[in-house]
Amino acid sequence: MSAPLTARADVPTDAAARYGKQLVSHLGRKVEWTTEGAVSTAAIGGGTGSIEVGDGVLTLRAQASDVDALERVQDVLGRHLERFGQRNELVVTWTVAPGAERPTG
The CATH number of the domain holding residue 87 is: 3.30.310.50
Q: Is residue 53 assigned to a domain?
A: yes
The pLDDT tens digits of the residues spanning 26-68 come to 999 999 999 999 999 999 989 999 999 999 999 999 999 999 9
Query: Does the pLDDT at position 86 exceed 80?
Result: yes
- Whether 103 maps to a domain, the answer reads no
Q: How many CB atoms lie within 10 A of CB 6?
A: 19
104 inside domain = no
Looking at residue 103, its pLDDT comes to 61
Quote the CA–CA distance of 92 and 81 in Å, as a whole number: 8
Q: Which residue has the higher pLDDT, 88 or 9?
A: 9
Predicted pLDDT at 97 = 83
Query: In 1-105, where does DSSP find H-type helix?
Result: 16-27, 67-84
pLDDT at 100: 63
105 lies in a domain?
Answer: no
What is the reported pTM?
0.91
> How many other C-beta atoms can be found within 10 angstroms of the C-beta atom of residue 89?
8
Please name the residues in contact with 94: beta carbons below 8 A apart, sequence gap of 6 or more.
7, 8, 9, 60, 62, 74, 78
pLDDT at position 3: 74
The pLDDT value given to residue 54? 97
30 is a domain residue: yes
Q: For residues 33 and 102, which has the higher predicted lDDT (pLDDT)?
A: 33
Give the pLDDT of residue 51: 98
